[in-house]
Amino acid sequence: MSKMDLIKYVLEELASNGRVVRGQVMSTEYDIQYTSQKATKRRVLYGYLAQQPTDDCQPRKSEVPDEDISSSWLGKRGTLCGLIPTVLGWGREGHYVVCKITQEYLSENALFAVKQLLPDSAHGDLAALCSWPDEIRFHYHWSSALHYAITPDFLCNYQYCRDCHDSYGRKHRCVTGAIHNYTMQLKLAYADASSKFNYNLTEALLFLSHFVGDVHQPLHVGFTGDLGGNSITVRWYRRKTNLHHVWDNMIIESALKMFYGSDLSTIIFNHTIQIFI
């Protein structure tokens, strides 16, 4: 199997099945090496928490600050917001594609509501700000744990009570908890427009849009022992990297160059047509 065939296989499997069988790695021409992770405080903590009984299994609002979006932070992005990124990393491009396709399927009322929440610098384009949560992770430190949820090693199932917590064991701080949290903020606000909720709905929209993309990246819901694939060393073509980075960036980056002429709008158009069919 050629390298190009492998990339096609991965993309076709994702498109047709919507899932990936975890724990299986195709080695073929690639030099893939599994590097076991040494016992760390994080792994010990996760293992301990996985075995503890839980008494609160219902997702709820995460205990995170309800801060206003910094106008200066968004303002810095104003020059890029209306453009399809052409020289940006896959992380940003991937989320751009997800949100661009999603916006095509919003109802007229939903699209109107989304545009009302977006800052002027976005020019009505949700995709333009879909990577915002990645850009503020080190500014909003509490949000870092909301991008993923990892399970005990080799347990191919996810249990909210067991698995939704951050590295300090604080419950409800994971990607599924965040999706529930920000979905409820938006639903409650629009169900009763007369009520005064202390929610920043623009942030809620941007976080929700981003996290729905994150949760569909297989290694954002990976195993504790390899830190979601971050400690699995692989070679992608001639580059040494880790498995998480391959999924985050390199598979689609390679496909974009090989099959779509590095034209992001083409991949968006093609996948939109496939969904309609």
Q: How confident is the model at residue 72 (pLDDT cuts 50, 70, 90)?
A: very low
What pLDDT, in 10s, does the model give residues 14-33? 444 443 333 333 333 333 34
Residues 189 and 84 grouped into a single domain: yes
Which CATH number characterizes residue 69's domain?
1.10.575.10
Residues listed for the chain? 277
pLDDT over 80 (residue 57): no
Residues 73 and 141 grouped into a single domain: yes
pLDDT at 203: 96
pLDDT at 256: 84
pLDDT at 71: 38
Residues 157 and 26 grouped into a single domain: no
What pLDDT, in 10s, does the model give residues 226-274? 999 999 999 999 899 999 999 988 888 888 888 888 887 877 777 665 5
Residues 271 and 168 grouped into a single domain: no
Output the six-digit token pair for 258. Answer: 């090989």
pLDDT at 109: 93
Domain count, the chain: 2
Residues 23 and 112 grouped into a single domain: no
Residues 205 and 272 grouped into a single domain: no
HEC profile of 58-122: CCCCCCCCCCCCCHHHHHCCCCCCCCCCCCCCHHHHHHHHHHHHHHCCCCHHHHHHHHHHCCHHH
Active-site positions read: 90, 95, 134, 137, 147, 210, 214, 220, 244, 248
How far apart are alpha carbons 120 and 26 in whole angstroms? 45
Residues 46 and 160 grouped into a single domain: yes
pLDDT at 173: 96
> To which H or E segment does residue 184 belong?
helix 175-191
> To which H or E segment does residue 241 belong?
strand 239-242
Residues 2 and 89 grouped into a single domain: no
pLDDT at 2: 53
Residues 129 and 142 grouped into a single domain: yes
> To which H or E segment does residue 235 belong?
strand 233-236
What pLDDT, in 10s, does the model give residues 126-184? 999 999 999 998 899 999 999 999 999 998 899 999 999 998 999 999 999 999 999 99
What pLDDT, in 10s, does the model give residues 76-119? 444 333 333 332 334 788 899 999 999 989 999 999 999 999 99
Q: What's the whole-number average pLDDT of the chain?
A: 75
pLDDT at 92: 83
pLDDT at 30: 36
Structural domain boundaries enclosing 141: 39-232
Residues 179 and 241 grouped into a single domain: no
Residues 47 and 184 grouped into a single domain: yes
Residues 95 and 154 grouped into a single domain: yes
